[in-house]
Structure 1
Amino acid sequence: MTSPVEAAEPDRAPARSDAPPPLPLTSPSSPPSSPSSSPSPSATRAGGRLRWLGLAAVLAVEVMDLLDTTIVGIASPSIRADFGGSSTQIQWITAAYTLSFAVLMITGARLGDIVGRHRMFLLGVAGFGACSALCACAVSPGMLIGTRAAQGAFAAMVLPQGIGLIREVFPAAEAGRAFALFGPVMGVSAVGGPVLGGYLTDADLLGTGWRAVFLINVPLAVAAFLVGLRALPASRAPRRTQLDLPGVVLVSAAVLLLVYPLVEGRDLGWPLWSYAMMAAALPVLLLFARRQRALRRRGRSPLVEPSLFRHRGFDGSLAVGVVFFGAMSGLILILTLFLQYGLGDSPLRAGATTIPMALGTAVGATLSGVWLGARFGRLTVQGGLVLTAAGVGALALTVHGTGGTPTGWQLSPALLAAGIGLGMVMAPFFDIALAGVSDDETGSASGVLNAVQQLGGSIGVAVLGTVFFSRAAHGTSPARATAAAAQTALWIAAAALAVSTAAAFLMPRRAHH
């Protein structure tokens, strides 16, 4: 795939090696290929050893990102018990990471073109590891939220660089084997985060408690840095580009204007300014789009290729992506909060309860990536959305049918079904979405999809978290109120997923192969 810079400059030669990564769960069945995907001399001399080590470094970074997106939810009640603070602060601990990631993702890809992808990869890994250590040392909710936002910023620096670097050390004949590892590894990491988070929080290793969910990143970051330093080649775009700073400011402002009032509004009683901020997000986004079109007319490189949004298939994919990843992130947060607040489970037990969903995701991603996606294309995504919606609805019915006190075994069938559906969607979604754009727009489209994935997660946490905490604050007893809150949030997620099935008809029928 091409980078946003390359996609924005049609006068480049078609051979490219500086693509941003596909989304963390891109389909293994159709990896990108390019004439420039030739191994570096050092990798060739090592007989392939260094190139596979380089892939391991990139996978380690992807795992850290997905763990940090999901692992914190299971530790949130312990963090609140330690620090105090409001329910809004719990939402921000999760949303701050995905929000800063979404805001800076496309910018991170462009910085790789400007200062060098290898340099940005190492800088991002080092910063991510340092911020993880600072998260573990946090002494207040505000400090933790700030360091989480910094984590997301460094993740946005490092993740756009990895796949482009890997393509340089793998010849076309080996690229398929390398990219085939992404789906299963990322799928299990995304949904297995709560399981690991529950163990680390409950185990209280060396008295660290919830802080261990951040400390686990430090050795991973150190290993990825050292391996990346040796095994990944120095690389940069063949033509120097410039960063559109006004564009960065506009798109950042639009996202903040939307997400900030969604998280803060409930605690403050939804004042008038919260609605005004959300309404202002649209004109600011339109100003950003206008600037991108103006840059293209002047022959300069926009952050986002304006022509992308003339493709109905790509627009439909964005709509599905926002809803799907929002529902996924919100579901994981609501489930872990209900298990701990409503049922009184320990973090370890709450994490163990989600194991069927993690296993289901691995099964769904494998089936979809290896067979279903290639054979049925868009129908696989739609089938996965329907199955996920049915699984989430079954969760709500199970909570209701058990009087708000289900056991882990009673939740397992619904969790397994929802997990299989999640995996079915994630594996082919990105390849199918990118089939709706032309070749010279692929890099920019990939960056936008990455950003939408993170933005959807932020919105899902904000909306479903707000619904949950609003409903949980009213009721005859905390247990009943929490169960009712979980049911309401789950039904909203199920309805959104069902509606997105219709939007998926706008997606391209199949991925390009």
Structure 2
Amino acid sequence: MTMVEGEDRQQEDVREGEAAPVRLSRRRWAVLGVLGAASFFDGLDANIIAVALPSIQRELGGGFSMAQWAVAGYSLATAVLLITGGRLGDIYGTRRVFLIGIAGFTLSSAVVAAATTPELLVGGRVAQGAMVALMLPQSMAVVKQQFRPEEWAIASAITGLAISAGSIGGPVVGGFLTDLDLFGTGWRAIFWINVPIGAALLACAIRVLPEGRTEQRPTLDLPGAVLVASASLALMFPLVRGSEHGWAPWSFGLIALSLVLWLVLAAHQRHRSARGTDVLIPPALFRRRAFTAGLTAALFTFAGATSFTFLLTYYLQFGLAWSSTRTALAVAAVPLGIALVFQIAWKHGPARPRLFVTCGALTMLAGALCMVGLAAAGRTDFALLAAVAFLLGAGTGLTSPVLTAVLLNSLAPREAGAGAGVIYASTQFGSALGIGVIGAVFFGGLGGASAGAAAADGRTAALYGDALGTAVLCTAAVFALVAVVARALPRQGTEPTGDPVPL
């Protein structure tokens, strides 16, 4: 692969001692556009089905169990296969695996759209999640391998903003397309729309994505892949479904089993590494303080931010009986906050990771404490609730891109796919952990109150507010932990491991 002359080369021709401004070439912007679009559709499709479930149940039947699996199957498949999906990119090339992911996602969307039975719909959703597990790690691996270190923060900020926008816009787009009833397709339109867009994205990716294959190709550690999939499933299943079953004993049994499997996996990886055999997750990653601290901070950040957004959305829709559109407009302040701190984060954050992550964590903490105060006072003003969501977004925007830059700095090119899979898996585990545990606190505070009756009287709305305040105090504690963990991050940005492959 040859260097694109001109615009890229000019970035390096600066006077010694003078920092060059970060300017992405048109080729890099095109690559980033493809990665951002894929990230957006992951966030969108993870949430787009929620508001269409009643329509789906009326047409296909299947009951409440089908509705649960239509949502949970996607998340479970993604989390279970992320680490293996990342390693497959190291083995077969990030471009090839990314293209397979897009093509598979498009085809599985068509399967869901054309489903005639509940089983076919759930199977298609599981396939969608599996294909996302192939795409997502490749996005981060492409950033690591093909972009310069000073470009990592802007690239991760754009893809992170795309996921957030897709996640928040999912319910609105799903409701709009379902109500629009395009060509009489009803709820099926929310999946049919993925087909032409996915085909266009595939064509663009074929044209602009570089090969992204390392010189030394590792082999797949098949026993390790089975262990990591089993451990991930044993952890994620109770986190996703446990609260709906009252945290039955089997939930804690599966979590205990997952811990045992993770320990077995760690021993297996150390044994293979000592023999000089390729591993699924390089043990050396966790001996790097910046990587371990960054991974822990990312896990806590997503646990707090995802649960906060979930709680706020649920409170607005069911506690205050707001429409899905009004709720989405209020929660849209989250990506707005991310966007407004965007330039500050990518320009200055990677050079001062400890400072920026600490400031971001404290901003999210301030938002959580403000939400507790509003809930206690019974304030339901749109502007105030949107302002709280904005604080969450601003804190996330200061934290997430900088953590990504720190983590990418810790990876060698040969580890890009495996490392990206570990990073994305940790954010999935963090999100599931936050919603599972903090969500249980929230629903426990409701004491079985009916969501449908929330708008009928102020007492039920007050009950939702009290439950929200208690649960958000838990997210505040999580954000405080992020600030503590940030102390282990480098005070100043370090030199990257390995050189990026030029576009």
TM-score by length of 1: 0.79
Alpha-carbon spacing, 1:439–1:77, altered in 2? closer, same or farther (3 Å)? closer
1:279 is aligned to 256
1:449 is aligned to 423
Query: Structure 1 stretch 51-60 or stretch 272-281: which is displaced more?
Result: 51-60
Partner SS state of residue 102, structure 1: helix
Contact 1:361 1:423 in 2 (8 A): yes
1:361 aligns with 2:338: yes
Instruction: Within 5 Å, give how 1:13-32 maps onto structure 2.
Output: none
1:407 is aligned to 381
Name the count of aligned residue pairs: 464
Q: CA RMSD in A?
A: 3.5
Pairing partner for 1:333 from 285, 292, 310: 310
1:387 is aligned to 363
**Using the alignment, how far apart are the partners of 1:497 and 1:179 within structure 2?**
21
**Using the alignment, how far apart are the partners of 1:362 and 1:51 within structure 2?**
20
Structure 1 residues without counterparts, runs of 5 or longer: 1-35, 41-47
**Using the alignment, how far apart are the partners of 1:385 and 1:450 within structure 2?**
20
**Using the alignment, how far apart are the partners of 1:451 and 1:364 within structure 2?**
26
Q: Deviations over 1:46-86 (max 9, x none)?
A: xx8776544432332122223334x43xx525525753888
Q: What letter is aligned with 2:3? A: S
Structure 2 residues without counterparts, runs of 5 or longer: 6-24, 455-459, 496-503
Pairing partner for 1:495 from 477, 480, 488: 477
- Tell me the CA shift for residue 319 of structure 1: 2.0
**Using the alignment, how far apart are the partners of 1:451 and 1:171 within structure 2?**
22
1:83 aligns with 2:57: yes
Contact 2:152 2:405 in 1 (8 A): no
Contact 2:154 2:401 in 1 (8 A): no
Alpha-carbon spacing, 1:125–1:285, altered in 2? closer, same or farther (3 Å)? same
- Tell me the CA shift for residue 327 of structure 1: 1.9
Identity of aligned residues (%): 32
**Using the alignment, how far apart are the partners of 1:510 and 1:89 within structure 2?**
50
Partner SS state of residue 341, structure 2: helix
Q: Deviations over 1:409-458 (max 9, x none)?
A: 23122122111111111121122245567787666434321221222222
**Using the alignment, how far apart are the partners of 2:119 and 2:470 within structure 1?**
29
- Tell me the CA shift for residue 247 of structure 1: 0.6
Alpha-carbon spacing, 1:244–1:167, altered in 2? closer, same or farther (3 Å)? closer
Contact 1:387 1:420 in 2 (8 A): yes
Alpha-carbon spacing, 1:96–1:248, altered in 2? closer, same or farther (3 Å)? same
Partner SS state of residue 180, structure 1: helix
1:313 aligns with 2:287: no
- Tell me the CA shift for residue 394 of structure 1: 1.5
**Using the alignment, how far apart are the partners of 1:125 and 1:439 within structure 2?**
23
Pairing partner for 1:123 from 82, 91, 100: 100
**Using the alignment, how far apart are the partners of 2:205 and 2:83 within structure 1?**
22
Contact 1:263 1:463 in 2 (8 A): no
**Using the alignment, how far apart are the partners of 2:366 and 2:392 within structure 1?**
7
**Using the alignment, how far apart are the partners of 1:344 and 1:486 within structure 2?**
15
Contact 2:87 2:421 in 1 (8 A): no
Q: What letter is aligned with 1:295? A: R
Alpha-carbon spacing, 1:335–1:102, altered in 2? closer, same or farther (3 Å)? same
Alpha-carbon spacing, 1:177–1:320, altered in 2? closer, same or farther (3 Å)? closer
Alpha-carbon spacing, 1:185–1:449, altered in 2? closer, same or farther (3 Å)? closer
Q: What letter is aligned with 1:387? A: T
1:198 is aligned to 172
Alpha-carbon spacing, 1:344–1:186, altered in 2? closer, same or farther (3 Å)? same
Partner SS state of residue 439, structure 2: helix
Instruction: Within 5 Å, give how 1:10-409 maps onto structure 2.
Output: 38-39=3-4, 53-69=30-46, 71-72=47-48, 76-80=50-54, 83=57, 93-137=70-114, 144-162=121-139, 180-184=154-158, 186-191=160-165, 193-195=167-169, 197-202=171-176, 204-206=179-181, 211-234=188-211, 236-371=213-348, 373-402=349-378, 406-409=380-383
2:19 is aligned to none
Partner SS state of residue 254, structure 2: helix
- Tell me the CA shift for residue 125 of structure 1: 0.4
Alpha-carbon spacing, 1:112–1:96, altered in 2? closer, same or farther (3 Å)? same
1:507 is aligned to 489
Alpha-carbon spacing, 1:227–1:298, altered in 2? closer, same or farther (3 Å)? same
Alpha-carbon spacing, 1:223–1:439, altered in 2? closer, same or farther (3 Å)? closer
Contact 2:350 2:405 in 1 (8 A): no
Alpha-carbon spacing, 1:81–1:506, altered in 2? closer, same or farther (3 Å)? farther
- Tell me the CA shift for residue 235 of structure 1: 5.4
Q: What letter is aligned with 1:389? A: L
Contact 2:174 2:190 in 1 (8 A): yes
TM-score by length of 2: 0.80
Q: Deviations over 1:300-330 (max 9, x none)?
A: 1101111222233332222222111122222
- Tell me the CA shift for residue 150 of structure 1: 2.0
- Tell me the CA shift for residue 126 of structure 1: 1.0
2:438 is aligned to 464
Alpha-carbon spacing, 1:87–1:455, altered in 2? closer, same or farther (3 Å)? farther
**Using the alignment, how far apart are the partners of 1:189 and 1:225 within structure 2?**
18
**Using the alignment, how far apart are the partners of 2:239 and 2:163 within structure 1?**
28
Q: Deviations over 1:372-409 (max 9, x none)?
A: x1453211101111111221221232133126xx1322
Q: Deviations over 1:95-124 (max 9, x none)?
A: 543432232222123223434433322211
